[in-house]
Amino acid sequence: MREKGELLASERVKLIQSLAVKVQESDETININAGKLKARNSISLADAYIAALCQIHNGILVHKDPEYEKLASEIKEYRLPYKLL
């Protein structure tokens, strides 16, 4: 919204809501896994939760965030090209 405006942000929210996305409530297993990932790696709490969900569901984390490189031995990942500054 900051870069592209409120209208485009609203359109993107509607697009995301139209996808087959499941909302996952946090539980003790997710909390513990996220906490372990956070304790072992210098990552944000939000990224720790995302990675924990991938672990628990045996998923592949598709990303373009260099911060996740630290977790390469702990989660399956597919790296998209990083944004050049």
Report, as an integer, the average pLDDT of 22-32: 93
Which pLDDT value is given to residue 22?
83
Residue 15 counted as domain residue: no
Show the 3-state SS of the chain: CCCCCHHHHHHHHHHHHHCCCCCCCCCHHHHHHHHHHHHHCCCCHHHHHHHHHHHHCCCEEEECCHHHHHHCCCCEEEECCCCCC
Return the closest-CA partner of residue 45 out of 62, 65, 31: 31
Residue 85 counted as domain residue: no
Domain that holds residue 59: 26-79
Instruction: Give 33-78 pLDDT, tens digit per residue.
Output: 999 999 999 999 999 999 999 999 999 999 999 889 899 999 999 9
Within a 10 A sphere around the Cβ of 75, how many other Cβ atoms?
A: 19
Verdict on whether the full-model pTM lies above 0.75: no
Number of compact structural domains in the chain: 1
Rounded CA gap, 7 and 39, in Å? 39
Binned at pLDDT 50, 70 and 90, residue 85 comes out as low
